[in-house]
Amino acid sequence: MAITDLTGIGLYTNLSELGLWDNNITDISPLAELNNLETLLLSALTELNSDAYDPEDNPSDINNDGSINTFDLVAVAPQFGQSGENLDGDVNGDGIVNIFNLILVAAHFGE
Ligand SMILES: [Ca+2]
Ligand SMILES: [Ca+2]
């Protein structure tokens, strides 16, 4: 059964690793409650996508606080599905905020 709603996941505060691939998540904001989350696996493509990524420029740090964590994922969430220029959540710069942008942020989680 695919997961479509993460509401209530904040109860699992000791969760340190979470895999969400093959699910149909539309709202990841409940993840902000998971303070111990260290690894978020959104897709088996995570490694593949991180290879195409320039570590010198770190757009995955969306709120520019020097680390990549749930706050950056949550910053992407409100822009999910939007397209256009100057979207912070469009970390790969292709003009649309979609699951691949979440994967890119997740690939650098904890940095
Ligand atoms: Ca950040
Ligand atoms: Ca994009």
Q: What is the pLDDT of residues 49-78, one digit of tens each?
A: 444 444 455 778 888 888 888 888 888 888
Ion ligand 2: residue ranges with CB closer than 5 A: 90, 92, 94, 101
Question: Are 64 and 22 spatial neighbours (Cβ–Cβ below 8 Å)?
Answer: no
Question: Are 59 and 91 spatial neighbours (Cβ–Cβ below 8 Å)?
Answer: yes
| C-alpha of residue 14 to centroid of ligand 2, in Å | 31
| C-alpha of residue 64 to centroid of ligand 1, in Å | 5
For residue 63, report the phi and psi dihedrals to the nearest 5 degrees: -95, 10
End-to-end CA distance of the chain: 32
State the Cα–Cα distance between residues 97 and 62, nearest whole angstrom: 13
pLDDT (average), residues 78-100: 90
Q: Which ligand is nearest to the CA of 59?
A: 1
Reported as a pLDDT band with limits 50, 70 and 90, residue 96 is: very high
| C-alpha of residue 10 to centroid of ligand 1, in Å | 20
Element (H, E) at 19: strand 17-19
pLDDT (average), residues 39-45: 57
Reported as a pLDDT band with limits 50, 70 and 90, residue 84 is: very high
